[in-house]
Chains A and B, each alone.
Chain A
Amino acid sequence: EVQLLESGGGLVQPGGSLRLSCAASGFTFSSYAMSWVRQAPGKGLVWVSIISNRGGITFYADSVKGRFTISRDNSKNTLYLQMNSLRAEDTAVYYCAKDDYGVKGRGLFDYWGQGTLVTVSS
């Protein structure tokens, strides 16, 4: 059974940093691209970033480019999102999502974690 378990969310001040983790199990993690998708309270879904199966290819939404960094450790079956220079508008539940396609992925998310809430506020 595929499982994705996010952690690392919490309350952070504007301008602060946070690192999210997503522990994966139930599939060959190193064979699939992975993404982060966020959802502000009461709002819709917004794709944030994607990383290829080996970590060599990454893409970001314009709203987080230069502030967020996606990475992965295939030896630990874990996906990360380093978030710097956080803003109030980054407040959201952050989901990690498995791509249904290997290598660089195609942006189709067949499994999702339960999400972790990030709140940016003073």
Chain B
Amino acid sequence: AIQLTQFPSSLSASVGDRVTITCRASQGISSALAWYQQKPGKAPKLLIYDASSLESGVPSRFSGSGSGTDFTLTISSLQPEDFATYYCQQFNNYPYTFGQGTKLEIK
């Protein structure tokens, strides 16, 4: 199975900061990568698909980049509602796999 490693595992930041989360795949997955946001007690929400495409309704401060094995999620200016856990997910091969998550906390 393809392993996805996210870093950092946790991150403290302030409102207005620019933050970047990285996801590294154990083998190439082309652009078959998605990013999800999950808040406590809630279902995940799709933010980015195909590595860099913004899901409809998601604010433009979220962006994704990368291909092959290295990917990033960037939030250009953190808002209070962005504090959550973020997961990357590959859908290039079965079994579909997720990264371990990055918890974004308020500094």
Contacts and interface: CB of A to CB of B under 8 A. Distances in A.
B89 A45 contact: yes
B91 A106 contact: yes
Contact of B96 (A44, A47, A62): A47
Interface string B43-58: 1111001000001000
Contacts of B91: 106-108
Interface stretch (B13-21, B59-67, B97-105): B97-105
Interface residues of A, number: 21
B87 interface: yes
B96 A114 contact: no
A100 B49 contact: yes
Contacts of B87: 44-45
A100 B49 CA distance: 10
Contacts of A114: 42-43
Interface string A34-68: 01000000001111001000000001011000000
Contacts of A109: 34, 36, 44, 46, 89
Contacts of A44: 87, 98-101
Interface in A86-122: 95, 100, 106-115
A114 B45 CA distance: 11
A52 to B, nearest CB: 13
A106 B94 CA distance: 10
Nearest to B95: A61
Given A44-B100, A95-B43, A108 B95 contact: no
